[in-house]
Structure formats: structure tokens, C-alpha cells
Amino acid sequence: MKTAINVRPYQIMCLICRIGRDEEANYYFEEKLDNLQKAIMADLNQPLLLRCNVESTFRFQNPGTELDTPEGELFNLRRDLTILQRLGLTPGSVYPATDLIRLFVNELKDCSDICGAPPNSIEIWQGCKFATSGNYERGLKDALTTLGGIRPKSQRIACKQETAPQMYKHKVLEIRPHHLLCMICFLDGKTLEELQPIDEDHLYEVLEICQENPHIPIKLVAGPCMICPPCHGFDPHSGTCSAAFGMGLRDQKKDLDTLRLLGLKYGDVLSAVELYNLIFDRIENFTAVCGFTTAHRTGPAWSVCSGENDIDGRKAFYEGKKCGLHIPGIKKHLE
Ligand code: SF4
Ligand code: SF4
């Protein structure tokens, strides 16, 4: 296992904050931040161990005050703990850098309550000198391309233009199992004429291929698949997906749930018609897979794509069942 780098939660915010600085303002522990940024940019999946000083049962991981910034002990204690509380994380946990940065960017949209001073504050709660600078909020805009591994839009569009035509040349489509459900969601009962290919993935292209050739073989594969290359979550270097915090985990869970319900395994090859007839016979609705059966979000890594607390799942599934995805040979469930 790759050695994790110890990180105080506030340092991730400061990395984002520095990206938005106007002039060469000096940040505390600048060299440490430089080294952290370099390590993340060298390996987006670099494990980061979140450590902060606490007085509870979690004190086993206390890092000491060496990296406390000069605003004072209480400010430092509260800043780290507030970050973890907002993100639903606990100290002593290790996460891949790219997932963690996406969580910060998605969940911590401003720094005022974390780094700033409350009204009528006494000296020890004055907060960070950059809290009202706007640096953090500006840094958020570029944080994902600078630190989080998202390829610039121009690169993703070039990838789409290069890989979309290749999709039509494959004799066998290699698809991760739960993407077969994403195709139902994407179509939402419409015809392809009512939709457009999108820049983010190849769902449209695969649907078009299956409608034109219902017997095209589909091989079920693990992890990111032919649909993924232009996606903002896909890292071509590692071949992993981190479109959001824990995305790779919940996608794998959905893949395994799909295989289990269909009675299949990775490597199996079935035609598009055979696969969708099995799906509509054996899967009740999206909640069975995309809602992890309960439709409850059990933590920051386990969001529910089919609609939180919506046990019936999205209507797109039932629309897909009715129209058989307009793929000739798929049984239409008209009831
Ligand atoms: S305001 Fe200060 S503590 Fe907050 S992220 Fe910026 S530099 Fe870090
Ligand atoms: S990279 Fe991830 S989010 Fe993007 S299409 Fe693939 S599995 Fe889905």
C-alpha cells in the first residue's frame, strides 16, 4: 500500500485558497503546502491521512501542534473539526487525494464560518488573515483542474471527438454492468431523435449502436469502460473514476449488485437484447441497484443516484420498460 501523507484538514482548504490569491501573499507553512501540492499533482490517487488534535476517543491520531497556524490553539482546534463535521468525515481516516479534493470543492463553498471571525469576536477568535480576501472562493473555480485531476474541457472535448467514432467500429462492446442502467436513465423513454450525443460520455452512442444492431455482443467488464473516456471523472493515467467523492466505490457496488441480480459475472458476453430482457425481468426499479435497495445515503461516499429516500426510483426505468429502449427484440412491458 502506498504510504499516506499526513494532512491537517485545514491544509486542503489552504491549498485551494492559494490558487485564488491575487498577489504573492504569503501563506503559513508555504513549503509544506508546496510539497503537498506537488505530491498530489504527481499522483492524484495519493492517499492522504487526515489528522487533527481532538480531546476525545479519536485522540489516538493527534498530530501535535507543529502545524498550528499563529491565530491560536482554539481557532486551530475548531477550524479542523468544523471542516470534518461539514464533510461527514472523522480524523484518522485515509482517502485518495482526488476524491478528497472533490469533496472539499463540492461541499465547502465558502470559508467564512470555518476560517473567519464571528461578529464582535475577541482576539483569539479573529480568524485567518485571508478569510475575507475571497481567495478561497476564487480558488474553488480552478481547484479541480489544478489539484483534483479534472482534464480541462478542451481536452475532454478532443477526447470525445476522437473516441466517439471509434465506438461504431467495435465488434464487441465492453460495458461495466451498471452503465446498462445509466443507458435507461439517459434515454428516459424518449427516442434518440429527441436526444443529442453529450460531451461527457458515450451513452448516446451505445444506445444508437444497440438500436441498429440489437444482437451486438456486450462483454461485462469491471471499472470504467468504453462509455467513460471523455467523462470529467475519468483519469486516463490510472484508468480510475473519481467523478465525486467515493464514486468509484459506489459504482463498483452498483456493478456487483447488477451482476448479482442478473445472475452474471464479469467477462460474460450476451447480446444487447438478451441483457435488457434479463434486466427488465429481474430488476424491479433503479432503487434495487442505484439506491442500494433502501434509497438511504449512509455517508458522504454513498450518495443515492436514483433519488434519496425515493424507494420507487426514477420514472425513466418504467419508461424504459415500456418502450424497450426502442431496441428491436426487447420485450415491451406495457402494463
Ligand atoms: S482563509 Fe486562511 S485558513 Fe482559510 S483556507 Fe484561506 S489561508 Fe487557509
Ligand atoms: S468515468 Fe465514472 S462517472 Fe464517468 S461515465 Fe465512467 S463510471 Fe460514470
Q: Provide DSSP, 257-324.
A: HHHHHHT--TT-EEEHHHHHHHHHHH--SGGGTTTTTT----STT---TT-TT-TT--HHHHHHHHHG
Nearest residue (by CA) to ligand 1, atom 7, is 14
Is residue 228 within 8 Å of residue 234, measured between CB atoms?
A: yes
Torsion of CA 78, 84, 90, 91, to 10 degrees: -50
Nearest residue (by CA) to ligand 2, atom 5, is 228
Q: Whole-angstrom Cα distance, residue 154 to residue 104?
A: 24
Provide the pLDDT for residue 281: 96
Of 42, 97, 5, 1, which is closest to residue 237 (Cα–Cα)?
Answer: 42
- The finding on whether 128 has its CB within 6 A of some atom of ligand 1 is yes
Cα 242 to ligand 2 centroid, rounded to whole Å:
8
- The finding on whether 241 has its CB within 6 A of some atom of ligand 2 is yes
For the chain, 335 residues long, give each residue's pLDDT as a single digit of tens: 899 999 999 999 999 999 999 877 899 999 999 999 999 999 999 999 999 999 999 999 999 999 999 999 999 999 999 999 999 999 999 999 999 999 999 999 999 999 999 999 999 999 999 999 999 999 999 999 999 788 999 999 999 999 999 999 999 999 999 999 999 999 999 999 999 999 999 999 999 999 999 999 999 999 999 999 999 999 999 999 989 999 999 999 999 999 999 999 999 999 999 999 999 999 999 999 999 999 999 999 999 998 898 888 779 999 999 999 999 999 988 76
- The finding on whether 68 has its CB within 6 A of some atom of ligand 2 is no
Burial of 124 (0-12, 13-18, 19+ CB in 10 A): exposed
Q: Rounded to the nearest 5°, which phi and psi values hold at 236?
A: -65, -25
Q: Whole-angstrom Cα distance, residue 82 to residue 113?
A: 9
Cα 120 to ligand 1 centroid, rounded to whole Å:
20
Q: Whole-angstrom Cα distance, residue 316 to residue 190?
A: 9
Of 254, 272, 286, 255, which is closest to residue 217 (Cα–Cα)?
Answer: 272
Q: Which of 235, 250, 251 to mutate to test the pocket of ligand 2 (most atoms within 8 A of CB)?
A: 251
Which ligand 2 atom is the nearest neighbour of the CA of 242?
2
Cα 307 to ligand 2 centroid, rounded to whole Å:
18
The number of the ligand nearest the C-alpha atom of 10 reads 1
pTM: 0.94
Neighbours of 315 (CB within 10 A): 12
- The finding on whether 111 has its CB within 6 A of some atom of ligand 1 is yes
Helices (H) and strands (E) in the chain, counts: 12, 8
Nearest residue (by CA) to ligand 2, atom 6, is 228
Cα 75 to ligand 2 centroid, rounded to whole Å:
39
